[in-house]
């Protein structure tokens, strides 16, 4: 399968299902050929190169907002974690060792949201070669002074376009703008334009991990 596939309703459900099936097959190939490997670092490198890289290809576009589709990819990573746990400790876990081993791999949903925020930040900082994307992202709230004086009201920095459907509200552009507004709300001192890039990446990752902790359905 090449590129990103969408159906007649302009959803990526078919693409997500086909991608999860393909990655399960690829993971089976990886596990069969890594049985003689003993170094956990080498095993993770092979997994990241052959499986996770495919799981995250163009993920900014098709990033699912429905939990049923997001969990499809987590099942792939959980299957690998079960294999990795066996390599490290010599036996399979009774439950998926998510809390113990996810720290070394990172949640796939966190990584997808982080990548989306980083792409949006690059565009806002003038580091994107796509003028259309920059034009759609740079939508700032500007109010006249008398109105602010008469009716004080705090607005978000970035204007999220109104959405009439759930699908559009969770599409990449509104989602990126909403996440950046959430970042600026939780960290008011954060300056997306003047801060060092490493500091912005750190704050974006912190927000994505906090969002995942609130919405996580993974058993402990």
Query: What does the pLDDT read at residue 125?
Result: 86
Tens-digit pLDDT profile for residues 174-189 = 999 999 999 989 988 8
1 contact partners, CB below 8 Å, separation of at least 6: 15, 18, 19, 22
Q: What is the mean pLDDT of residues 125-136?
A: 78
Query: What does the pLDDT read at residue 147?
Result: 47
Q: Which residues of 8-46 are buried (b: 16+ CB within 10 A; e: fewer)?
A: eeeebbebbeebbeebeebbeebbeebeeeeeeeebbee
Domains of the chain, by residue range, sit at: 13-106, 116-215
Query: What does the pLDDT read at residue 28?
Result: 94
Tens-digit pLDDT profile for residues 40-53 = 899 999 999 999 99
* Residue of higher predicted confidence among 39 and 135: 39
Band of pLDDT at residue 141, cut at 50, 70 and 90 = low
The whole model's pTM is what? 0.81
> Phi and psi dihedrals of 144, rounded to 5?
-75, 155
């Amino acid at each position: 399968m090449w590129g990103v596939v969408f159906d007649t309703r302009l959803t990526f459900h078919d693409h997500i299902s086909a991608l999860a099936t393909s990655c399960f097959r690829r993971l089976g190939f990886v596990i069969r050929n890594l049985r003689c490997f003993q170094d956990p670092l080498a095993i993770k490198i092979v997994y990241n190169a052959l499986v996770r890289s495919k799981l995250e290809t163009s993920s900014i576009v098709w990033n699912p907002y429905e939990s049923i589709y997001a969990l499809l990819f987590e099942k792939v990573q959980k299957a690998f974690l079960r294999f990795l746990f066996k390599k490290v400790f010599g036996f399979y876990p009774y439950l998926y060792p998510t809390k113990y081993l996810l720290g070394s791999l990172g949640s796939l949903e966190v990584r997808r949201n982080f990548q989306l925020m980083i792409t949006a930040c690059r565009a806002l900082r003038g580091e994107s070669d796509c003028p259309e994307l920059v034009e759609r992202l740079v939508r700032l709230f500007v109010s006249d002074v008398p109105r602010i004086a008469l009716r004080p009201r705090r607005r978000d920095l970035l204007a999220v376009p109104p959405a009439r459907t759930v699908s559009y509200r969770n599409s990449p552009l509104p989602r990126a703008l909403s996440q950046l507004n959430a970042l600026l709300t939780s960290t008011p001192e954060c300056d997306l334009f003047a801060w060092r890039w490493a500091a912005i990446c750190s704050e974006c990752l912190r927000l994505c991990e906090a969002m995942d902790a609130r919405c996580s359905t993974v058993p402990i």
